[in-house]
Structure 1
């Protein structure tokens, strides 16, 4: 017979087995554990390069979605050096009263924080800015001229009417040549506006501008608006651009660098001196002689603008569209009473 100690041990072992089995029966089996597969996250497509409409240069797609900003920029000696002219896409120089000139400057691909000094509008400005759409900033003007500008499809930002802090007077220039507009803030308030359409035709990166293929090379342009204003441009082969001077002195930006352009488009224009007493009006709707300077050469042709909303078309004497060099452009609206000299 087994001893009492062995019977107790056997009984305890059997009890443990029964208890373990009972506990195992009471606990439900857990779900099968699956190893998760790594999910594949679709990466956003990189921005595709596009052509900047007012420069003909390659730019990131998203950077071109904002509207253009035009501003009426002072060119009185007291307004120099101006803010932001070195970053413009296109600048128009026009004759105003007293034989002086002012600018209609356009920014799109490169927008400064501030530009100026801004001044009042003139009767030709609506025909200049309408093709660009977007925004026009200025400091006021005669009521008839302001009304003309207000009747365009362009958003008007006017110093005289502003109570939102878009404009201010700086302490660098003396009044009235001291009104500055906060350009980035102004454009940021109108993100719903579309980008501007192209205004000129440009040679592709692998091609050369029409001035090089059809025109002779030369070193300088000498232009005369009046006895008070005679800008000039000298070809800088090392820098690949035209350097600007006014009345024989280098025309400098706020950082002390000479203003430059990839293209200088010179248009001979008629001036209406009768409709508005003492205010010359450049006639932008019409046609006339043109000289387009790019790449150290100049091609002669004609310009034509058929309507306020139409862009300026340039055709060479051979009947071909004039292709500009990619880059910024200055448009010189030289009155027919002035002169254009191409210097070899």
Structure 2
């Protein structure tokens, strides 16, 4: 039976169950001739300024989680986050909706981290832009924050359809340097103020397809049980993830050590998406991840991993994940890390 048949059957069954329950409840509670007349109660006083209209329920576009519609009506904030050893622990990585890890010069990696459903007070350390970042950020719209970069890369980002907040040019106090961190790994952004200044910008579009808590359980995905994921970007950077059933999350390590954020929590993700990507060396020592195109992909969710492909047809288009059967490759509601692993690196999944 096709997956759509299963879904339709589940929806129909749920509808029958709800209708049946309503009829049974009505039969149990309806008045009879022996019942006393109903008592009319005076409504409780309602504080001025409150409404009896329930809040509109929606879904966070970059997490797939249930959310209040009004609370989602603000832009996404993307920021270039440092991953040098002296930049660790980073601030508020576990409050992101999305994190993209990319190769930069010297075999190191940096992040494009994106916050929308949960905006922390501050984020960082913020570092400089790279040539693939406009392709990552453009589909999100909203705001991008970074410390600077080569003039050509800054020009590329300023041409993207996003508001640029640049430490090198800021004279409004959005950025500060942390006294307890070594430079240049010390630039911190006041993220609530940044989003507040541009609150009129629209929220981001939906980035991925989301299913239930265990979206890869359908045999059609041929998802393999996975206890750990190992990704090699270079000799200097080889992150890994371990499935923790108790917390229903992937726990992150870097170079064999637990990866911690500034809150003291282990960095974790509900979804880990691994994409194999080509590297364009036209900028000399600065590698550019090639994101306009397609390639091999894996989605690791709920202790399983399903294989598929990724594609992106324009800078302003989101990445599309497709399962091997041709349908969407779904994620579970929650935060997602997207690992942009070079084809010269490696990816392994342990059962």
**TM-score bin, normalised by smaller chain:** 0.7 to 0.9
Q: Which residue, out of 282, 285, 289, partners 1:282?
A: 289
Q: Report what 2:124 is aligned to.
A: 116
Shift of 1:254: 0.7
Which whole-Å deviations, capped at 9, do the CAs of 1:275-296 have from their partners, x for residues lacking one?
1111000001000000100000
Structure 1: distance between partners of 2:318 and 2:154: 22
TM-fit CA distance, 1:211:
6.3
The answer as to whether partners of 1:211 and 1:298 remain within 8 angstroms in 2 is no
- Structure 2 residue 216 is the aligned partner of structure 1 residue 210: yes
State the Cα distance separating 1:67 from its structure 2 match.
0.4
Local SS of the residue matching 1:175: coil
Which residue is equivalent to 2:108? 100
CA distance in 2, matches of 1:137, 1:162: 11
Structure 1 residue 212: Cα displacement = 6.1
| CA–CA separation in structure 1 for the residues paired with 2:123 and 2:295 | 32
After superposition, the Cα gap between the structure-2 partners of 1:295 and 1:212, relative to the gap in structure 1 and judged at 3 Å, is farther
1:241-252 equivalence runs, <5 A:
241-252=249-260
Say if 2:220 is the partner of 1:222.
no
Task: Give aligned pairs, total.
Answer: 303
* C-alpha contact 2:105 2:287 (8 A) present in aligned 1: yes
TM (normalized to structure 1)? 0.86
Q: Deviation string for 1:60-85 (max 9, x for gaps)?
A: 11110010000000000000001111
- In structure 2, the residue matched to 1:330 is 337
Which of the residues 294, 298, 318 maps onto 2:301? 294
Q: What SS class does the counterpart of residue 224 from structure 2 fall into?
A: coil
- Give deviations 1:174-206, integer Å, cap 9, x for gaps: 00000000000000000110000000000046x
Instruction: Give SS of 2:283's match.
Output: coil
- Structure 2 SS opposite 1:148: helix
CA RMSD of aligned residues (A): 1.5
TM-score, L = length of structure 2:
0.84
User: Which whole-Å deviations, capped at 9, do the CAs of 1:95-138 have from their partners, x for residues lacking one?
Assistant: 00000000000000000010000000000000000000000000
In the alignment, the residues of structure 1 paired with residue 185 and residue 192 of structure 2 have an alpha-carbon distance, to the nearest angstrom, of: 21
Secondary structure of the structure 2 residue equivalent to 1:165: coil
What is the deviation of 1:255?
Answer: 2.0
Structure 2 distance, partners of 1:43, 1:277, is 60
List gaps (5 residues or longer) in structure 2: 1-45
Equivalent in the alignment of 2:349 = 342
User: Deviation of residue 86 (structure 1)?
Assistant: 1.1
* In 2: Cα distance, 1:130 partner to 1:46 partner: 34
Query: Which runs of at least 4 in structure 1 moved beyond 3 Å after TM superposition?
Result: 40-44
Say yes or no: does 1:267 pair with 2:275. yes
